A and B are shown apart, each in its own frame.
Chain A
């Protein structure tokens, strides 16, 4: 990251910033137009290497994307479901091979067979209607089961005016201390994976003096298998927006930025609609309700890079820099977007705030376990009899989620990867030892993460799953730190060699590689990939052993 580029990017404001303008250079052909990149570099005084380098990072702007018309989802859930060969075949009848690309996880994990044409996502039985789909202008919203054992995030929004009551009260009373106290006492921890207490984050940011601050909603839900954020963005948009405004007012931020992945076009539309509704309630803009508070929203549509889910990469992305991970400190709360204090939170975390303000911190805290309060959304893939989103009180036995809420597995499953590609691989015989909370998962050597569940069926070879994980990791590595840039590639190559060419893997080398990634990586991307691999080595040693040799 470059402090200078952050500053120069800010000079031209937030409304139509560098990143969006870079994105637009690729609208014509799918590849960023060098002439337009040069023009942007001149306009921003940042050198053409900066704009060219940034554009080349993203799936939907890089040269390889030129001329792509259809995309096949290659996320973990679709892979395990084995639906994608058929998807590719069907698309091949309408597009030539150079026009078909891939996207990693369209969030249609509940029915798989996912693909993307012309800015819209399809899945499940849509494949049979492919002729109709091409050229269709309507957005395509899917439906899935939503269940809860405690309804908090999944609660209906209902009448908007009364839904926004907590925010209106906060604005009118300006009792910020009380609200922050409630959030602190609620014990709410970040739902993006790291579990950092949001109250503390807000407090730190609030304490930094600055003329400009930001709230960022990290809606770059890139984890294959996860679509609970998509659910919130599309079905509970106002909960997300209200949470952002509450957080914004508490820290003194006047901008709320939603960074939504390009693979979720419907989410962008729904949130945009919700912002307009909020505008109509006169709850946005300058001097809201005569309070002197200013607040505006800005949606930024990402361009296809998993690493942007990492908060500092996300910040770089919004600034139009290459979305590489920044070193910490300084933390974003002190020096974030455009070098200004910034709170970055996950969709689900922000969507919980209105409940806390409405019902008080203690009420939230009374839900869940001592250290993991509240509720958690879980995404279930198509291996469940009832796939979809479930909301459970923290501490709920995993067994309850799987059997009672998910209706059990549709076919034989040997393991589940829970919490995204960096989450643990949980063998089915560990289900009864786990409850849905941060501590239970950590204690057992797994990771709750974002709590998406991707099932690995009995017939799916674990070595291939590991190769898939490493392939994903190397493809999505930002390339900044040595261990991740080189290590994920070498890991993928070792596994591929074992699968394709029967080359046995030096076990010590593999262990060294995993340790290097885990200890040496700059962020959780490289640092996290060893966890599922180590889980697999431990719980599926018999299946994997033939691929390794001990020197």
Chain B
């Protein structure tokens, strides 16, 4: 299609707006606008983007807003005619009749879109006599992060639209009409009183300082901007960090980020102030006479290396273990497992994936051959059905959660949630299967049953690309539906309808989280989710697949790098002689043959006296691993506990040596997000105090213990990794670009958005039937402990909370709370915010009650972000039978109203 700009012909795209056509041809911002924004739909309120348009050359022109008028064949566009320039100037003059002219003292002076457009139009005076205005609107400074000064508002609605179209929260709207139309939060409340989730999308969208944040993220300073990747979850949002010298000023989300497209959540955008918190560990420390004392790095290194060499010699390498950190970079994780394997000489290396997504990696490997998300987040735009099971992404993966929520709100889409709680997404879903915690396998087998019964099996796909189906089918058809319905508590018709909806959708995706994995049947559940995809042929193309929502920012990467006792870098089997040979050649040393300890086995070994030393990086096992008292005992039984941390966590308190690591803002490397996207983490600041990049610490000790390893650089490390991890073959620091690459990346540097397009890593997809089995926790304890407690995460805090509790987030979410159904609360005389004592076979904790119908009777739910509560004092040793992932989601408890005595001393 051809269209003309200033009488010159250009190629136009069908369905393109005049605005994007002109910007494409003439350059970005060639047409000024105040209400348009990169991530929002055209709105047409400011009219600044108006252009003159004629349908043929020389014909009479008509003025049209270019943002919502489409280019048509043969159109003549005059984007900057005399008439248009006059119109823009006159509109701006009107805007300035109700806008304070205090630019010099305004927060966004020099970075104000109104200022820019006003300058462009050449408006020099406001000719209107003083009239009614809104310059006296009060500021809203109620919130730890969000601020507003609506006297600066130009009513472009960008904030309202961002809250709706990006975050889907509907906190902002307009009230009144005409001249008095004004932005409101909730029912004309303050930010703090409203339901604002502090994502900051409004502040980023606002073209003036009308809505902003306490960090003045739009202010112009002598800033340097560094692009990096968020440390807070597996979504992997790109962040643009502004700093002045050694101070971080603020964070914004870049619009050109594939992962987050200009959006992020309050953790990514605002919860960065932990980085220079007074409590940051700034020096290495060694416990002397029962007290941790500051020492030099030299002393710490000498102490560690001599001790480790001593244990290795005296008790063998297997007396030493390492827990690496999924918050660290790929390079650092690679180094840690290399250190443990090649320098110490044991496979006793594990990471936090053990307690979160180990069943995902294992289950998907068993079904597909590859333990990673099959598709990309972007595929949400190409699917017709989303099944969310055991995940609460609007809290734990907010940016992906917001996208899924957008999907759920559209009536033509199929949305299914399987979760015991009425999560935010469950409220919007077409189908909410509110099962009893621990019965995923029962419900998924029912779904599989109905898909087969209703004749909705993708026969051709099953025939060509899978194996084991006939046995599987036979087993599935033999399940006792009555029994499964009774066990799960989910109406069979609802399961049937959901199954039909999933199987009938042209493209269906699933997302799952820890509500799948943290069960005694976690791995089997993952395999069933994979079976659902197989049986309906939802694999290997856009808009389908099995997509685990990885928890920590680099939990995918840590496993990829070999932070597992049974698989080395690149998932190669450490017991396979060929593999061992390959690694030995590469590392230049001889390697152990036996599979090492998984994390729970490390603690068992410690209690048995077999483990002498443990090095834990960035993982608060005391607060976050199950059965706290047992973990503490295990640490106390270990001679040498090395903890590498940012803060004095509950685990760090048990350290013999404490090493101050660096935060994500203080080092470079790569993180791999939940869609296998390897992205560059760029250092913003030097490590605080005497702290060091975690990778350098490991390297220093490697060298100290006689293994030569060059100093830490991401380039150098990636070069090494690419030679041993097959799917990193083409990854180089230099060619990752701003948006990274999704593995596998071939030697030519080509990456992969969708796995299993033609074939599975293991050849054929494998059906494997597993019947529902009641957890031991219920079998053994339900009689005495009739309630089921399930643990989860809140939006504002991240895991043990060591970082988020040292930011403004703690002013928004102040405590762990216990979700309890009103009927249960009434039965025990528990009122809102009363202390409730939760007692399990392991112990007691007290938590404040939050009475809500979002939880079913008989089920309770709480978080583990606050060490005062220490909910893991009551969680159990039960774990996934295959992957040893703890069963955090099913804890048999009894409850009573209490006085809050059972709090941990912090």
Interfacial residues, chain A to chain B (CB-CB below 8 A): 2-5, 7-8, 10-11, 34, 37-38, 41, 45-50, 52-54, 56-57, 62, 305, 307, 322, 324, 327-329, 338-339, 474-483, 485-490, 493-494, 497, 503, 506, 509, 512-513, 515-516, 519-522
Residues of chain B within 8 A (CB-CB) of A328 are 68
Asked if residues B179 and A477 are in contact (CB atoms below 8 Å), the reply is: yes
Complex: A481 Cα to B67 Cα, angstroms: 13
**Bound CA–CA A485/B63 (angstroms):** 19
Question: Which of the residues B87, B157, B170 comes within 8 Å of A46, measured between beta carbons?
Answer: B170
Q: Is the interface of B mostly helix, strand, loop or mixed?
A: loop
- In the complex, what residues of B have CB within 8 A of residue A46's CB? 170
Whether B47 pairs with A506 at a CB distance below 8 angstroms is no
Question: Judging by beta carbons under 8 Å apart, are B168 and A4 in contact?
Answer: yes
Q: Indicate whether A489 sits within 8 Å of B177 (C-beta atoms), given known contacts A4-B165, A10-B411.
A: no
Give min CB distance, A132 to chain B, whole Å: 36
Q: Residue B65 at the A interface, CB < 8 A?
A: yes
User: Are the CB atoms of B97 and A490 closer together than 8 Å?
Assistant: yes
Closest Cβ of chain B to A325, distance in Å, is 8
- By Cβ-Cβ distance, the 4 closest A-B pairs, closest first, are A47-B170, A479-B181, A53-B173, A49-B173
B50 interface residue (CB < 8 Å to A) = yes
**CA gap between A485 and B44 in the complex, in Å:** 13
Query: In the complex, A515 Cα to B86 Cα: how many Å?
Result: 10
When the two chains form their complex, are residues A4 and B409 in contact, meaning their CB atoms are under 8 A apart? Answer: yes
Tell me which of B87, B178, B186 has the highest count of chain A C-beta atoms within 10 A of its own C-beta. B178
In the assembly, what is the distance between CA of A11 and CA of B410, in Å? 10
Question: Contacts A329-B70, A482-B155, A519-B63 known; A53 to B47 CB distance under 8 Å?
Answer: no
Residue of B43, B50, B174 with most partner-chain A CB within 10 A: B174
Query: Chain B interface (Cβ within 8 Å of chain A)?
Result: 34, 41-48, 50, 63, 65, 67-68, 70, 83, 86-87, 90-91, 93-95, 97-98, 127-129, 131-132, 154-155, 157, 161, 164-165, 168-181, 184-188, 194-195, 406, 409-411, 427-428
Q: Which residues of A contact B428 (CB under 8 A)?
A: 45
Closest to B42 in A: A327
Contact assessment for B47 and A57 in the assembled complex, using a CB-CB cutoff below 8 Å? no
CA gap between A11 and B187 in the complex, in Å: 23
Chain A residues contacting B83 (CB-CB under 8 Å) are: 519
In contact, A52 and B187 (Cβ under 8 angstroms): yes
Q: A53-B174, A482-B154 are in contact. List 19 more A-B contacts (CB 8 A).
A: A2-B164, A4-B168, A11-B411, A45-B428, A48-B195, A49-B185, A49-B187, A52-B173, A57-B176, A322-B173, A322-B174, A476-B177, A479-B178, A480-B45, A483-B94, A489-B131, A493-B128, A493-B131, A494-B129
The residue in A324, A488, A489 that gathers the most chain B C-beta atoms within 10 A of its C-beta is A489
What is the bound-complex CA distance between A99 and B645, given in angstroms?
68
Contact between chains at B169 and A482 (CB < 8 Å): no
Q: Are B98 and A486 in contact (CB under 8 A)?
A: yes
The residue that B45 contacts in the complex, of A11, A52, A307, A522, with Cβ under 8 A, is A522
Contacting pair B164 A485 (CB below 8 A): no
Q: Please state if B68 and A479 are interface contacts (CB–CB under 8 Å).
A: no
Min CB–CB distance B327 → chain A (angstroms):
34
Interface centre among A38, A322, A516, A519 (most CB of B within 10 A): A519
Q: Is the CB of B176 within 8 A of A506?
A: no
A169 to chain B, nearest CB (A): 35
CB pair B187 A482 closer than 8 Å: no
* B129 near A481: Cβ-Cβ < 8 Å: no
Chain A residue at minimum C-beta to C-beta distance from B195: A47
Q: Are A483 and B91 interface neighbours, CB within 8 A?
A: yes
Q: What are 12 sample pairs from A and B whose C-beta atoms fall under 8 A apart?
A: A3-B41, A49-B184, A52-B186, A57-B176, A478-B177, A480-B157, A482-B154, A482-B155, A490-B97, A515-B86, A519-B50, A522-B47
Most buried by B among A307, A322, A476: A322
- Chain B residue, CB-CB nearest to A35: B187
- Smallest distance from the beta carbon of A305 to chain B beta carbons, Å? 7
B47 touches A481 (CB 8 A): yes
Residues B42 and A485 in contact, CB atoms below 8 Å apart: no
CA distance A414 to B486 in the complex (A): 83
Contact present for B188 and A5 (CB under 8 Å): no
Tell me the bound Cα distance from A521 to B91 in angstroms.
Answer: 10
Give the docked Cα–Cα distance between A449 and B176 (Å): 28
Residues of A within 8 A of B186 (CB): 47-49, 52
A327 partner residues in chain B, CB cutoff 8 A:
42-44, 65, 67-68
Contacts of A57 in B (CB 8 A): 175-177
A506 to B125, CA, bound (A): 14
Return the contact of A509 from the options B98, B128, B157 (Cβ within 8 A). Answer: B128
Nearest A-chain residue to B84, judged by Cβ = A519
**Quick one: closest B residue to A516, CB to CB?**
B90
Nearest Cβ on chain B to A422's Cβ, whole angstroms: 16
A519: which B residues are within 8 A, CB to CB?
Answer: 50, 63, 83, 87
**Closest approach, in angstroms, between the C-beta of A327 and any C-beta of chain B?**
4
Question: B177 near A305 (CB under 8 angstroms)?
Answer: yes
Residues on A with C-beta less than 8 A from B86 are 512, 515
Residues of A within 8 A of B157 (CB): 480
Inter-subunit contact A486/B97 (CB<8 Å) = yes
B508 CB to closest chain A CB, in angstroms?
20
A38 to B185 Cα, complex, angstroms: 13
**Smallest Cβ distance from B811 to chain A, in angstroms?**
22
Residues of A within 8 A of B90 (CB): 512-513, 515-516, 520
Are A52 and B175 CB-contacts (below 8 A) given A483-B47, A483-B91, A490-B128? yes
Interface centre among A3, A329, A481, A497 (most CB of B within 10 A): A481
Closest A residue to B430 by CB, please name it.
A11
B98 touches A56 (CB 8 A): no
Give, as a whole number of angstroms, the nearest-CB distance from B72 to chain A.
11
Q: Are B91 and A516 in contact (CB under 8 A)?
A: yes
* Complex-state Cα separation, A59 to B363, whole angstroms: 60
Chain A contacts for B45, CB-based, 8 A? 480-482, 522
**Contact pick for A47, options B34, B171, B177, CB 8 Å:** B171
Most buried by A among B43, B170, B406: B170
In angstroms, Cα B127 to Cα A305, docked, is 31
Q: How far is the CA of A10 from the CA of B411 in the complex (A)?
A: 8
Shortest beta-carbon distance, A370 to chain B, in Å?
23
Question: Please, which residue of chain B has its CB at the minimum distance from the CB of A323?
Answer: B177
Q: State A49–B185 Cα separation when bound (angstroms).
A: 6
Q: Of all chain A residues, which has the CB nearest B128?
A: A490
A509 touches B127 (CB 8 A): yes
CA distance A485 to B97 in the complex (A): 12
| Cβ contact within 8 Å between B95 and A482 | yes
A407 CB to nearest B CB, Å:
39
**CB pair A516 B94 closer than 8 Å:** yes
Determine the distance from Cα of A516 to Cα of B85 in the docked complex, in whole angstroms. 11
Give, as a whole number of angstroms, the nearest-CB distance from A435 to chain B. Answer: 25
* CB nearest to B127 among chain A residues: A509
Most buried by A among B161, B180, B427: B180
Q: What is the distance, in angstroms, from A307's C-beta to the closest C-beta of chain B?
A: 8
- The smallest beta-carbon distance between B648 and chain A, in angstroms, is 40
Residues on A with beta carbons closer than 8 Å to the beta carbon of B184: 49, 52-53
Out of B46, B95, B175, which one reaches A56, CB within 8 Å?
Answer: B175
Instruction: Tell me, rounded to whole Å, the shortest Cβ–Cβ distance linking A468 to chain B.
Output: 16
Chain B proximity of A177: nearest CB distance (Å): 29
In the complex the two chains form, is A520's CB within 8 Å of B173's CB?
A: no
How far, in angstroms, from A480 to B91 measured CA to CA in the complex?
A: 14
Residue of B nearest to A489 (CB): B179
Q: How far is the CA of A328 from the CA of B164 in the complex (A)?
A: 20
Let me know if B187 and A479 touch, CB within 8 A: no
Note all chain B residues with C-beta closer than 8 A to A37.
187
Q: Bound complex: CA of A46 vs CA of B90, how far in Å?
A: 37
Question: Is there contact, CB below 8 Å, between B187 and A486?
Answer: no
Chain A residues whose C-beta falls within 8 Å of the C-beta of B132 in the assembled complex:
489, 493
Q: Report the Cα distance A478→B90, complex, angstroms.
A: 20
Contacts of B187 in A (CB 8 A): 34, 37-38, 48-49, 52
Contact call A482/B46, Cβ cutoff below 8 A? yes
Distance, CA A205 to CA B172, complexed state (A): 33
How many Å from the CB of A13 to the closest CB on chain B? 12
CB distance from B68 to the nearest CB of A (A): 4
By a CB distance below 8 angstroms, the chain B residues around A515 are: 86-87, 90
